[in-house]
Amino acid sequence: MKALTPGQGVTIYHVAERAGVSIATVSRVLRGNVPVSAETARRVREAIAELRYTPSRLGRGLAERQHAANGIVFPELSGPYYAEVVLGYESVVAELGRSVLILSSHGRSDAPGMVRELAGRVDGLVLCTRTVDDEVIVEIAASGVPVVLIARTPVVARAGSASRTGAMTPAGAEDPAATADPAEADPAEADPAGVADPARLIDTINAENRASARDLARHLLGHGYRRFLFLGDTTASFDFAERWMGVREVLGDVPRVPCAFDEEGGRAAADVVRAHAPDAVICGNDEIALGLAEATGGSVPITGWDDVMAARYAGLTTVRQPMRELGARAARLLDERITGARSRPRHEVLPTRLVIRSSCGPHPEEGSR
Amino acid sequence: MKALTPGQGVTIYHVAERAGVSIATVSRVLRGNVPVSAETARRVREAIAELRYTPSRLGRGLAERQHAANGIVFPELSGPYYAEVVLGYESVVAELGRSVLILSSHGRSDAPGMVRELAGRVDGLVLCTRTVDDEVIVEIAASGVPVVLIARTPVVARAGSASRTGAMTPAGAEDPAATADPAEADPAEADPAGVADPARLIDTINAENRASARDLARHLLGHGYRRFLFLGDTTASFDFAERWMGVREVLGDVPRVPCAFDEEGGRAAADVVRAHAPDAVICGNDEIALGLAEATGGSVPITGWDDVMAARYAGLTTVRQPMRELGARAARLLDERITGARSRPRHEVLPTRLVIRSSCGPHPEEGSR
DNA sequence: TTGAAAGCGATACCAG
DNA sequence: CTGGTATCGCTTTCAA
């Protein structure tokens, strides 16, 4: 028997003593998996109630070797985008009876370290965009913590010799033939070495980008525009790179000018944009578009991406993304990995939709899509 | 010595063996607080690196009796409001070297249970608005987990006999004389029984509401409006109740019609609003205002509250709240409690500002404020 | 059904 | 400085 220091917390020992049983029995009625005599269970429950006992997560976690918590890492929560993704994620993770830890990597000097630390307190992790290098991801996955990637190209590094994926080059960038839907391929199956490569086993989930980009491009062409400009840093975002690539598939080469990902980025780019004198500006996301629109005062047709709340009020033509579903779906994929319900990697792509409003210019008789 | 099962995780025992030292020594170089010979430290560090060892948070937490994590509970992350609060919170909590757990209580059937559960995995908790009843809050605080309340009236229940605060009645609702700045009062000091009452020891932090409400009311009066309507459920939100009260201090009685807290709530209330035929509608928050504006098509002057991103693009007259700071400040107050740096309760009120745009109607020559 | 005891993976006190 | 060891609070065999 242990000594029961009447200190702060009431432990399972206190309950056991109060109920006149062993801690094993208390644990049993707590977990409810092993049969316990009704009378005993009643006494235990009574003791628990009287003592206002709450089992220690730390103790339980250590014994069960699990955290009952999932994490999610995103670049920044400032924009409306990730807030929605996180909401969707929290929604299903909580429903699954687990807690959710969040981490914004934006601007933190030691992002890798923080992500590693986070990985140490969860049973599974969702990583959004380029929040950390591939090697860190592979390392975490290899350590046994399931990982799901959102809005990010699949990790390509091989275990033990992780390396960066080039400058966020989307699949098929240099080789169009390689654009086959990754969801069909099964890397794990084809592993020549027969060794499980953690990198290729990581699930990914993205919003469809290329097709919407093409739709958007065609719509703009319908307006009669011929000179375009892509505003946003395509080398820092997988999504931006794909969007840029998509519009080029229809428009041919489209010059791009990088800028910060927020409204300020769009405002600041106004001069450069004017210098290019384009017929229309395709912005990487709504915030950039909104900022630019504000700075140009509607003198040039502009489109955004994401369809954030403000886009509707600003009359911004954009592409709607299922942000909430992105997070929710990621939570589900991750859970399948945590529970071991699935071992084969999945790479999902969620549908998006072109939303035409007024910012792209007057619409004669053109219908949407 | 323990048996070293070559299982999944590498523990401190593995490192100790590899380095040829005791786990105590490994722990020492890990914590870095106790002196260790340079040579020994080097060997340990080497072993740690080779084994890619990462100390278990669960093990450490159990031994240290702390989680190194803080939590935050908000009603819903859907609106732009709480996303900002959470961002501010995460920002400073991470800076403090701790992790952050989030929980959205919205629509969850067992909110109290989930909050209690969360309380069991953190060293401190921030509760936003009316996410759980006072008794739960008091219970948590009494259990030793510091709590900070955001946008919520101070808990009034007495330990052991918790009860609800009436229908979200703001301080001074029935007794104007009691409106003295609570930050000056020191409940703990005045505790007649001499017993620490956990309820009154809970820190609170709010955005200033009444003064801004009065400013807004006066501005509306300046427009020449005389018949007003307050749109929003003042019985479900402390902030709404205060705002409504503030405008009444200037406008006299103002009828209110309750509605959901989002855009849909505003849209749905359009008919009822029209039936009242008011000169202007003062909405509890921007989303409601935006929804109503959409439904009424600008036929009636409208104002919001919060100054979310979309408000700017919709030309909505509103009151700006320092949402980010609300979260950041809460994190700081909480940390002072966790570290024990402060034991006296604090009740802070952050300044807000009236932002006049076009939704309240044409401005002849009137200046702002 | 129930109890005793062996961990789970650290921390930290107590001797050497 | 360093090693041995007693916790921390709970889960889970192994016997009874």
The C-alpha torsion from A287 through A288 and A292 to A294, rounded to 10°, is: 10
Tell me the average pLDDT of chain B: 86
Closest CA to A262 of A290, A282, A238, A302: A290
Distance set, CA B329 to CA A313, B306, B352 (Å):
31, 17, 15
Strand order of the β-sheet with A280-283 is: A256-257, A228-231, A280-283, A302-303
Kindly report the CA angle at B195 between B194 and B200, in degrees rounded to 5? Answer: 105
Name the nucleotide nearest B60; use CA and C1'. Answer: C10
Nearest CA in chain B to A55: B120
Can you list the alpha helix ranges (DSSP code H) found in chain A? 12-19, 23-31, 38-51, 57-64, 80-95, 111-119, 134-142, 187-190, 210-222, 238-251, 263-268, 270-276, 286-296, 309-314, 323-339
Q: How far is A78 from chain B (nearest CA, A)?
A: 7
* Separation between Cα atoms, residue A157 and residue A134, nearest integer Å: 7
- The answer, for A295 touching chain B at a CB cutoff of 8 Å, is no
State the count of interchain CB pairs (< 8 A) between A and B: 122
- The answer, for B166 touching chain A at a CB cutoff of 8 Å, is no
Owner of token pair 């958007």: A216
- The answer, for B99 touching chain A at a CB cutoff of 8 Å, is yes
Average pLDDT of the segment spanning A4-16: 76
pLDDT in tens, B215-258: 999 999 999 999 999 999 999 888 999 999 999 999 999 999 99
Using pLDDT thresholds of 50, 70 and 90, give the confidence band for residue B131. Answer: confident
Name the nucleotide nearest B23; use CA and C1'. Answer: D3
Q: CB under 8 Å to A270, separation ≥6 — which residues? A: A292, A295, A296
Residue A348 has a CB neighbour count (10 Å cut-off) of 17
pLDDT in tens, A315-350: 999 999 999 999 999 999 999 999 999 989 999 999
What is the structure's pLDDT at A190?
38
| Cβ-based contacts (< 7 Å) between B 19-58 and strand D | 20-25, 28, 34-37, 39-41
Answer for B62: CB within 7 Å of strand D: yes
CB contact under 8 A, A102 and B86: yes
* Separation between Cα atoms, residue A75 and residue A40, nearest integer Å: 51
Average pLDDT of the segment spanning B173-194: 36
* Separation between Cα atoms, residue A311 and residue A297, nearest integer Å: 15
* Separation between Cα atoms, residue B145 and residue B338, nearest integer Å: 8
Nucleotides of D under 7 A from a protein CB: 1-5, 7-13
- The answer, for B135 touching chain A at a CB cutoff of 8 Å, is no
- The answer, for A186 touching chain B at a CB cutoff of 8 Å, is no
Q: CB under 8 Å to B366, separation ≥6 — which residues? A: B219, B222, B223
Dump the DSSP string for A298-328. Answer: TSS-EE-SB--HHHHHHT-BEEE--HHHHHH
What is the structure's pLDDT at B195?
45
Structure tokens, A134: 């591939």
Structure tokens, A40: 């005993």
Asked if residue B62 has pLDDT above 60, the reply is: yes
* Structure-model confidence comparison of residues A228 and B144, the more confident one: A228
Output the distance from A21 CA to D16 C1' rounded to whole Å: 16
pTM, two decimal places: 0.88
